[in-house]
A and B are shown apart, each in its own frame.
Chain A
Amino acid sequence: MKTNGKNGDVRIGFYVCHCGSNIAAMVDCPAVAEYVRKLAGVVVSRDYKYMCSDPGQELIQQDIKEHQLNRVVVASCSPLLHEHTFRNACAAGGLNPFYFQMVNIREHDSWVHSDRAEATAKAKALAHAAIRRVRFHRALEPTRVNIHPDTLIIGGGIAGIHAALLLANAGKKVTLVEREPSIGGHMAQLDKTFPTLDCSACILTPKMSAIRSHPNITLWTYSEVAKVDGYVGNYTVTVKRKPRFIDEELCVGCQECIKACVFKEPKFADEFNVGLGKRKPIYIPFPQAVPQVVVIDPDRCIQVKTGKCKQTCVEACADRHAIDFTQQEELLEIKVGNIIVATGYKLFDATRIPQYGYGRYPNVFTSLELERLVNSSGPTTGEILLRNGQHPRSVGFILCVGSRDMKTNRWCSRTCCMHSMKLAQLIREHTDADVTIFYMDIRAPGKGCEEFYDKSLKDGIQFVRGRVAEVTDWALSPEEEGKLVIRVEDTLAGFVRRIPVDMIVLATGMEPQADAQEVRRLLNMSCSSEGWFLERHPKLAPVATFTDGIFIAGCCQGPKDIPDSIAQAGAAAAEALSLIDKGYIEQEPNTAYIEEADCSGCKSCIPLCPYTAISFDESKQKAVIHAALCKGCGTCVASCPSGSIKQNLFEDEEIFSEIEGVLT
């Protein structure tokens, strides 16, 4: 490859693209070519219908050879679209690809203007700028970064589980970190899944067991990521492992210790059953928990709190010695190449809408609470009961609680319509209660979902269209005595109704996790204004983030159902796999570098760098930029008081000559 390093003998080829009529309709392309032809250093100047087509690219390659071009400028669309194409064409013609400069006369010109003469003048000015700038380009080499083959997955819900299994099955090592004592996430709490009504546990638990037994997967439950350092391919992650006071290797899940606990009866609200059931201080979160290892709640266990317990649990485990009250919090460090974030969602707190009475009226439930009531391993062994133990004769579902609401969350949580209809069908199946669903719109767009809606209607579930105003217990008529009354404007019937029911289910929406902002900072990701992790592109890069080597899957990116979460998890695993199997990535060499002789060692650049790419060499008293971390944002370049920081492709002379060109 020729380097053509000297600026003296510059031979520029210029190409202006018609882009069919996208550019040519508003810019006089032959006139632009004619104008550029007369500029200093230009050897060839052409206009062509589609520069990105194969013949267009060949034109560049031929000209490089025939006319000994050592600079190429193409005026066409956005560099985001085709810079890569034309750089490759230059390389194929034997020219270092960084001798190429692109001018955007489509998005920046023809598409946004309506005066052909002025748009043509603008195209000429932009082209002139590029011709001036390209003269100062230098030959650069992309930096190559090796990819560590292991992957970290944060979050052991269905998305994290699926991504872990895919990578592990491909022979890659995976560490799966889960905050709770068991993996499974929200899916483990569900009874049936819509629209097929297959049992959630039956389809989830085989995958959970596979995680535990897979030789390529290290499972760390009851653990959290504390620190992430490094860059794509080379992340160093510190994981905090909370003490569960049980040796995971020794415990076989026999639960003798739970029976032996000094608390004879379960006494404390059980997280898995959303507080509807009780557990002891030593417990297994749920029957299918993975790992099948007990855990001790440090806030409830007398021994942990006071050190003054008879420790009957330890006696019960005398032959295995799995209980270990000396366990301390551990910090472990691992090295990985990629990270998949699948941290899920938090349910909307229904007490934030006090007019629906959650927390005030005992028989107002959330949909997740009802899910546990319907489940045969739940606190009522599957019987749908009011708090007083009676069977409800009528149930009302209120949709969009904390969704599509200007006062709380504006977004649609996407799953609640279907989830509520599923629960409604289960109620109809298990009891003879009347069920009414209060909705604004029924959103059932998934595969098989509209059919499910049809079935709900045929099953005799009532649908009332209207945003419920309030849930109350004041009675106007004898039928309302002792009932919860739903006050709603029925927008189809056109009047205000009062509908008395025994049980109310609030379809609470999804929210970003409470600590989503901390996770975002930890991993240097972005969040949407609502707090969901932001994908790199809403359509074309839905699981990538703005940080290379970090991918997102499942509900941490936005509300979605199980199939969509799994699809994203698969996509994230495939993205990681493609980096791992290639083994390296090439990075754009538009990075900043330090002219060491000029650096005064003032350190002012170090805190400014958003990517923590700058460190300080104490022995030399100079700043050092780590090229693999640098994203080329230019903040340090602009701020350096001694002007010793420069940036490839954005050198002062390149920028100034570009400005001169555009002003000429």
Chain B
Amino acid sequence: MKYSYFPGCSLKGLGRAYEESLLPVMKHLGVELQELEDWNCCGATAYMSVDEAKAGVLAARNLAIAEQNGGHDLLTPCSACYLVLNKTKHNIADFPDIRDRIHCALRSANLTYTGSTRVRHPLDILVHDVGLDVIKEKVVRPLKGLKVAPYYGCQVVRPYSTFDDAWNPTTMDRLLATLGAEVVHYPLKTKCCGGSLTGTLPEAGLRMSYILLKEAVRRGADVIATICPLCQFNMDAYHDQIDRRWGPTRIATVYFTQLMGLAFGFSEKELGLQRNFIPMKPRPVPPVAA
């Protein structure tokens, strides 16, 4: 099982805990990842709102490199990258004027792109390619008694709900249950985390993060599992401000890959868990089964 790997800027910076947990987990499952050579910005956020075609050129360069280097599916863990790369694929397929501009730009860098690269999310690969049976076999320290609120965020499921339901995704629910965790009913699983509004319009943005945190606490969750670096940051880094406005709602938000790693027997350090502002509540660690 081999994939090209597009980390994007987040996984090398703010979201490095995601990469730190993703890589060992994938390796442990026998999934070979080859980081895309000379990758660049995916084109997310600011670019996309200024000029879709220019943002598309950035994204398409990555798609083209992936296509020319073995044509493996492109593993894209960051939700923003996942959305922009998929959107660019759609734009190239559906809008001839954007396609022409992108092709023209790629040609000047001696690149071509035929549209064949598949952009895949790690959840999709883990559940559909690797399979829950294989994952279950690797669980040596079941997350028994750990109540997890599964939080998907918006970008992976909408508008391109490629591998799960747009309104009620369940892939991560099933994965977490396979690890032995207790998945709590969390109706906000695809609601906005506040996105960049936490920085630009904190009153609105922080309130959205607060709603997510408060509801997870209300549902009795011990921890929130997420799949997106921006969501993780919003729900982890602003607790001081949120507490000041609406009262304390302390709950940790971690990457689902970190929970996988814990179940597979990796230490917290090996999974970057020490990077959290709000640490996961310590819980009795059962001995690793032989």
- Identify the A interface with B (CB < 8 A): 354-355, 360, 470, 472-476
**Are A474 and B165 interface neighbours, CB within 8 A?**
no
Which partner residue on chain A sits nearest B185 by CB separation?
Answer: A473
**Are A474 and B167 interface neighbours, CB within 8 A?**
no
Alpha-carbon separation in the docked complex, A474 to B166 (Å)? 19
**Are A474 and B168 interface neighbours, CB within 8 A?**
no
For the complex, is B119 an interface residue (Cβ under 8 Å from A)?
Answer: no
Alpha-carbon separation in the docked complex, A473 to B215 (Å)? 10
Which partner residue on chain B sits nearest A475 by CB separation?
Answer: B218
Which partner residue on chain A sits nearest B188 by CB separation?
Answer: A474
A-B pairs with the 10 shortest C-beta distances?
Answer: A354-B167, A355-B167, A354-B168, A472-B187, A474-B215, A474-B187, A474-B188, A473-B187, A354-B165, A476-B211
Alpha-carbon separation in the docked complex, A470 to B191 (Å)? 11
In the bound complex, residues from chain B placing their C-beta under 8 Å from that of A475 are 215, 218
- Identify the B interface with A (CB < 8 A): 165-168, 187-188, 211, 215, 218
Which partner residue on chain B sits nearest A361 by CB separation?
Answer: B187
**Are B168 and A360 interface neighbours, CB within 8 A?**
yes
Which partner residue on chain A sits nearest B219 by CB separation?
Answer: A474
Alpha-carbon separation in the docked complex, A476 to B218 (Å)? 10
Which partner residue on chain B sits nearest A351 by CB separation?
Answer: B168
Alpha-carbon separation in the docked complex, A143 to B41 (Å)? 76
Instruction: For the A-B complex with A354-B167, A355-B168, A474-B188 known, give 16 more contacts whose Cβ atoms are closer than 8 Å.
Output: A354-B165, A354-B166, A354-B168, A355-B167, A360-B168, A470-B167, A472-B187, A472-B188, A473-B187, A474-B187, A474-B211, A474-B215, A474-B218, A475-B215, A475-B218, A476-B211
In the bound complex, residues from chain B placing their C-beta under 8 Å from that of A355 are 167-168
In the bound complex, residues from chain B placing their C-beta under 8 Å from that of A473 are 187
Alpha-carbon separation in the docked complex, A152 to B167 (Å)? 46
The smallest C-beta distance from A19 to any residue of chain B, in angstroms, reads 46
Which partner residue on chain B sits nearest A407 by CB separation?
Answer: B166
Alpha-carbon separation in the docked complex, A360 to B168 (Å)? 10
Which partner residue on chain A sits nearest B165 by CB separation?
Answer: A354
In the bound complex, residues from chain B placing their C-beta under 8 Å from that of A360 are 168
In the bound complex, residues from chain A placing their C-beta under 8 Å from that of B211 are 474, 476
Which partner residue on chain A sits nearest B190 by CB separation?
Answer: A355
Alpha-carbon separation in the docked complex, A319 to B158 (Å)? 65
Alpha-carbon separation in the docked complex, A643 to B225 (Å)? 74
Subset of 7 A-B contacts with CB under 8 Å? A354-B167, A355-B168, A360-B168, A473-B187, A474-B187, A474-B211, A475-B215
Which partner residue on chain B sits nearest A485 by CB separation?
Answer: B187
The smallest C-beta distance from B249 to any residue of chain A, in angstroms, reads 13
Of the listed residues A354, A474, A476, the one surrounded by the most CB atoms of chain B closer than 10 A to its CB is: A474
Of the listed residues B167, B187, B211, the one surrounded by the most CB atoms of chain A closer than 10 A to its CB is: B187
In the bound complex, residues from chain A placing their C-beta under 8 Å from that of B215 are 474-475
The smallest C-beta distance from A562 to any residue of chain B, in angstroms, reads 34
Alpha-carbon separation in the docked complex, A476 to B188 (Å)? 12
In the bound complex, residues from chain A placing their C-beta under 8 Å from that of B188 are 472, 474
The smallest C-beta distance from B26 to any residue of chain A, in angstroms, reads 30
In the bound complex, residues from chain A placing their C-beta under 8 Å from that of B165 are 354
Alpha-carbon separation in the docked complex, A470 to B189 (Å)? 13
Alpha-carbon separation in the docked complex, A474 to B211 (Å)? 9
Alpha-carbon separation in the docked complex, A476 to B215 (Å)? 8
Alpha-carbon separation in the docked complex, A354 to B189 (Å)? 13
Which partner residue on chain A sits nearest B186 by CB separation?
Answer: A474
Alpha-carbon separation in the docked complex, A474 to B214 (Å)? 10
The smallest C-beta distance from A468 to any residue of chain B, in angstroms, reads 13
In the bound complex, residues from chain A placing their C-beta under 8 Å from that of B167 are 354-355, 470
In the bound complex, residues from chain A placing their C-beta under 8 Å from that of B187 are 472-474
Alpha-carbon separation in the docked complex, A475 to B215 (Å)? 7
The smallest C-beta distance from B75 to any residue of chain A, in angstroms, reads 27
Alpha-carbon separation in the docked complex, A470 to B165 (Å)? 15
The smallest C-beta distance from A459 to any residue of chain B, in angstroms, reads 33
Alpha-carbon separation in the docked complex, A336 to B13 (Å)? 78
Of the listed residues B166, B168, B188, the one surrounded by the most CB atoms of chain A closer than 10 A to its CB is: B168
Which partner residue on chain A sits nearest B216 by CB separation?
Answer: A474
Which partner residue on chain B sits nearest A472 by CB separation?
Answer: B187
Which partner residue on chain B sits nearest A360 by CB separation?
Answer: B168
Alpha-carbon separation in the docked complex, A476 to B167 (Å)? 20
Alpha-carbon separation in the docked complex, A355 to B165 (Å)? 11
In the bound complex, residues from chain B placing their C-beta under 8 Å from that of A470 are 167
Alpha-carbon separation in the docked complex, A430 to B167 (Å)? 35
Alpha-carbon separation in the docked complex, A470 to B215 (Å)? 16
In the bound complex, residues from chain B placing their C-beta under 8 Å from that of A476 are 211
Alpha-carbon separation in the docked complex, A476 to B166 (Å)? 24
The smallest C-beta distance from B183 to any residue of chain A, in angstroms, reads 14
In the bound complex, residues from chain A placing their C-beta under 8 Å from that of B218 are 474-475
Alpha-carbon separation in the docked complex, A472 to B167 (Å)? 11
Which partner residue on chain B sits nearest A359 by CB separation?
Answer: B168
The smallest C-beta distance from B48 to any residue of chain A, in angstroms, reads 24
Alpha-carbon separation in the docked complex, A543 to B216 (Å)? 57
Alpha-carbon separation in the docked complex, A360 to B215 (Å)? 18
Alpha-carbon separation in the docked complex, A470 to B168 (Å)? 12
The smallest C-beta distance from B269 to any residue of chain A, in angstroms, reads 35
The smallest C-beta distance from A559 to any residue of chain B, in angstroms, reads 26
Alpha-carbon separation in the docked complex, A475 to B185 (Å)? 13
Alpha-carbon separation in the docked complex, A473 to B218 (Å)? 12
Alpha-carbon separation in the docked complex, A354 to B190 (Å)? 12
Which partner residue on chain B sits nearest A481 by CB separation?
Answer: B218
Which partner residue on chain A sits nearest B218 by CB separation?
Answer: A475
Alpha-carbon separation in the docked complex, A470 to B218 (Å)? 20
Alpha-carbon separation in the docked complex, A475 to B219 (Å)? 10
The smallest C-beta distance from A515 to any residue of chain B, in angstroms, reads 27
Which partner residue on chain B sits nearest A470 by CB separation?
Answer: B167
The smallest C-beta distance from B135 to any residue of chain A, in angstroms, reads 26
The smallest C-beta distance from A483 to any residue of chain B, in angstroms, reads 13
Alpha-carbon separation in the docked complex, A474 to B167 (Å)? 15
The smallest C-beta distance from A353 to any residue of chain B, in angstroms, reads 8
Which partner residue on chain B sits nearest A356 by CB separation?
Answer: B167
Alpha-carbon separation in the docked complex, A475 to B211 (Å)? 9
Alpha-carbon separation in the docked complex, A355 to B158 (Å)? 13
Alpha-carbon separation in the docked complex, A354 to B157 (Å)? 13
Which partner residue on chain B sits nearest A353 by CB separation?
Answer: B167
The smallest C-beta distance from A173 to any residue of chain B, in angstroms, reads 52
Alpha-carbon separation in the docked complex, A474 to B186 (Å)? 8
Alpha-carbon separation in the docked complex, A322 to B165 (Å)? 50
Alpha-carbon separation in the docked complex, A360 to B186 (Å)? 12
Alpha-carbon separation in the docked complex, A475 to B187 (Å)? 10
The smallest C-beta distance from A490 to any residue of chain B, in angstroms, reads 19
Alpha-carbon separation in the docked complex, A473 to B191 (Å)? 13
The smallest C-beta distance from A489 to any residue of chain B, in angstroms, reads 15
Alpha-carbon separation in the docked complex, A354 to B215 (Å)? 20
Alpha-carbon separation in the docked complex, A476 to B168 (Å)? 20
Alpha-carbon separation in the docked complex, A323 to B211 (Å)? 62
Alpha-carbon separation in the docked complex, A360 to B187 (Å)? 10
The smallest C-beta distance from B247 to any residue of chain A, in angstroms, reads 13
The smallest C-beta distance from A350 to any residue of chain B, in angstroms, reads 13
Alpha-carbon separation in the docked complex, A476 to B165 (Å)? 25
Alpha-carbon separation in the docked complex, A324 to B132 (Å)? 49
The smallest C-beta distance from A140 to any residue of chain B, in angstroms, reads 53
Which partner residue on chain B sits nearest A476 by CB separation?
Answer: B211
Alpha-carbon separation in the docked complex, A473 to B187 (Å)? 7
Alpha-carbon separation in the docked complex, A472 to B215 (Å)? 12
The smallest C-beta distance from B218 to any residue of chain A, in angstroms, reads 7
The smallest C-beta distance from A357 to any residue of chain B, in angstroms, reads 8
Alpha-carbon separation in the docked complex, A354 to B168 (Å)? 7
In the bound complex, residues from chain B placing their C-beta under 8 Å from that of A472 are 187-188
Which partner residue on chain A sits nearest B168 by CB separation?
Answer: A354
Alpha-carbon separation in the docked complex, A474 to B190 (Å)? 13
In the bound complex, residues from chain B placing their C-beta under 8 Å from that of A474 are 187-188, 211, 215, 218
Alpha-carbon separation in the docked complex, A360 to B167 (Å)? 12
The smallest C-beta distance from B188 to any residue of chain A, in angstroms, reads 6
Alpha-carbon separation in the docked complex, A355 to B215 (Å)? 18
Alpha-carbon separation in the docked complex, A576 to B4 (Å)? 68
The smallest C-beta distance from A628 to any residue of chain B, in angstroms, reads 50
